[in-house]
């Protein structure tokens, strides 16, 4: 039995299908998400790194992996199957996996639409948002989906310098207009642009972000609280990241690197209660491909002022670290939407460097908040309590903002 046949057999019973619309749908992370979901759903691999597959989320009503349907936007034309082959050649995906999940990769590739804006694009921001919105709505209608979650996994963009909406914000506006929960897994602006505040507030949709916490910052969110709790004064904390691939090329732009580093440094400030000396540097090393090395040098004072140093080295594959988190977040946002939750979800700060809403910076406290969120979903799944709502009581299929802005073009 092929993987696609196995998944079809496991999907009998007409289970509701949930869409996952990926911004940057032909990138390394997105390709690993699609291939990994197919492999785990078929039982070819264990769900390593997926917190939603642990007992913490048992009986919480999350959509099964076999119910997820993938599509997305991208501005490159390398197909998902070819991208998967390249990742397997680089050791990111297991040898033979692209062939085993070829049907799933091809199905997702058919659902990828051109993004934008392109260098010679003449469309206005309103026209781009309407086009992106129509693509998402068409995906939901044609595939008979109960709902869809939009997840931004595109390359990091520089922070905006003017009033114009950057590409990540155009996609975020389209997600809300299409009535979809939104996840910003990147440090890009997304929903954080001030001009999107009225649309975000009026949408009545749950959202989460930003910048997935996969490696160096994951360690910092554990080590920072350790120093604070043991009353050890950190004098300096310096870091270096060596990485290649698309992220390395994108972060070679100093403005994009600054946007990325802001979240890394914020974790230290929040967990230590002070900002230590030192900086974090990001170096593009194309030869590393999708692999990265992150090094931290921590200088701290012990008893009687004894000076000491802790050094850490993290070597890993960013796509393999990110993909299980993306699958977790897509399932969690879909379930939150089904449960009637709205607005920012600070309980998901466990997954992010710069989480929306108010929440702790220490990973242990964030995990406790995530456990509480799992319990909320579980109570709703068994019918205990009423659905929780925020600013809006309803979940419209297409959200119409009440204030003027570049998103207010007529639907395409």
What average pLDDT score do residues 281-308 get? 93
What average pLDDT score do residues 75-81 get? 95
Q: Which residue has the tokens 């732009």?
A: 253
- Whole-angstrom CA distances from 307 to 166, 236, 296, 304, 310 are 45, 11, 17, 9, 11
- What is the torsional sign of CA 210, 211, 212, 216? negative
* Least confident range of 68-72, 97-101, 110-114, 258-262: 258-262
- Whole-angstrom CA distances from 130 to 56, 316, 404 are 39, 39, 15
Average confidence score pLDDT of the chain:
89
Among 43, 20, 34, smallest CA distance to 83 is for 34
Contact in structure between 71 and 25 (CB atoms under 8 Å): yes
Using DSSP bridges, classify how beta strands 291-301 and 307-317 pair: parallel, antiparallel or unpaired: antiparallel
Q: Angle, to 10 degrees, between the axis of helix 80-89 and the axis of helix 28-41? A: 90
C-alpha span between 98 and 81 (Å, rounded): 7
Residue 126 burial by CB count (10 A; 0-12/13-18/19+): exposed, middle or buried?
Answer: middle
pTM, 2 dp: 0.88
The residue with greater pLDDT, 112 or 392, is: 112
For the stretch 36-57, pLDDT in tens is 999 999 999 999 999 999 999 9
What average pLDDT score do residues 114-118 get? 95
- Residue 406 confidence (pLDDT): 53
Contact in structure between 236 and 299 (CB atoms under 8 Å): yes
Q: Mind listing the domains of the chain with CATH numbers? A: 3-212+320-381 (3.40.50.720), 216-318 (3.30.360.10)
- Residue 260 confidence (pLDDT): 65
The residues, ordered by sequence, that sit 6+ positions from 280 with a Cβ below 8 Å of its Cβ are 216, 238, 239, 240, 241, 261, 264, 265
| pLDDT over threshold 80, residue 404 | no
- Residue 4 confidence (pLDDT): 52
| pLDDT over threshold 90, residue 408 | no
| pLDDT over threshold 90, residue 330 | yes
* Least confident range of 5-14, 116-125, 269-278, 315-324: 5-14
For the stretch 57-72, pLDDT in tens is 999 999 999 999 999 9
- Residue 400 confidence (pLDDT): 40
């Amino acid at each position: 039995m092929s993987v696609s046949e196995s998944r079809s057999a496991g999907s009998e019973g007409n289970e509701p299908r949930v869409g996952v619309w990926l911004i940057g749908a032909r990138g390394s992370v997105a390709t690993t998400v699609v291939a990994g979901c197919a492999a785990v759903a078929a039982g070819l691999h264990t769900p390593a790194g997926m917190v939603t597959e642990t007992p913490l989320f048992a009986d919480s009503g999350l959509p099964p992996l076999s119910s997820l349907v993938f599509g997305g936007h991208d501005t490159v034309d390398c197909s998902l199957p070819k991208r998967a082959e390249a990742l397997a050649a680089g050791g990111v995906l297991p040898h033979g996996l692209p062939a085993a999940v070829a049907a799933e990769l091809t199905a997702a590739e058919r659902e990828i639409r051109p993004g934008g804006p392109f260098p010679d694009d003449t469309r206005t921001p309103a026209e781009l948002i309407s086009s992106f919105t129509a693509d998402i709505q068409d995906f939901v209608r044609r595939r008979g989906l109960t709902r869809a979650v939009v997840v931004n996994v595109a390359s990091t963009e520089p922070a905006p310098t003017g009033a114009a909406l950057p590409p990540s914000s155009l996609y975020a506006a389209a997600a809300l207009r299409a009535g979809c929960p939104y996840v910003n897994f990147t440090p890009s602006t997304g929903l954080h642009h001030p001009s999107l505040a009225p649309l975000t507030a009026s949408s009545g949709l749950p959202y989460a972000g930003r910048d997935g916490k996969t490696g160096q910052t994951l360690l910092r969110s554990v080590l920072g609280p350790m120093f604070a709790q043991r009353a050890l004064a950190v004098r300096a904390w310096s870091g270096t990241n060596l990485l290649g691939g698309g992220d390395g090329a994108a972060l070679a732009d100093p403005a994009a690197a600054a946007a990325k580093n802001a979240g890394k440094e914020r974790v230290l400030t929040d967990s230590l209660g002070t900002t230590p000396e030192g900086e974090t540097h990001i170096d593009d090393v194309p030869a590393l491909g999708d692999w990265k090395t992150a090094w931290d040098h921590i200088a701290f004072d012990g008893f009687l002022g004894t000076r000491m140093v802790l050094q850490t080295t993290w070597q890993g594959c960013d796509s393999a670290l990110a993909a299980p988190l993306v699958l977790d977040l897509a399932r969690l946002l879909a379930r939150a939407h089904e449960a009637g939750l709205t607005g920012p979800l600070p309980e998901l700060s466990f997954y992010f460097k710069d989480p929306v809403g108010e929440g702790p910076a220490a990973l242990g406290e964030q995990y406790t908040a995530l456990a509480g969120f799992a319990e909320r979903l579980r109570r709703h799944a068994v019918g205990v309590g009423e659905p929780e709502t925020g600013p809006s009581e309803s979940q419209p299929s297409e959200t119409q903002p009440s204030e003027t802005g570049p998103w207010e073009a007529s639907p395409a």
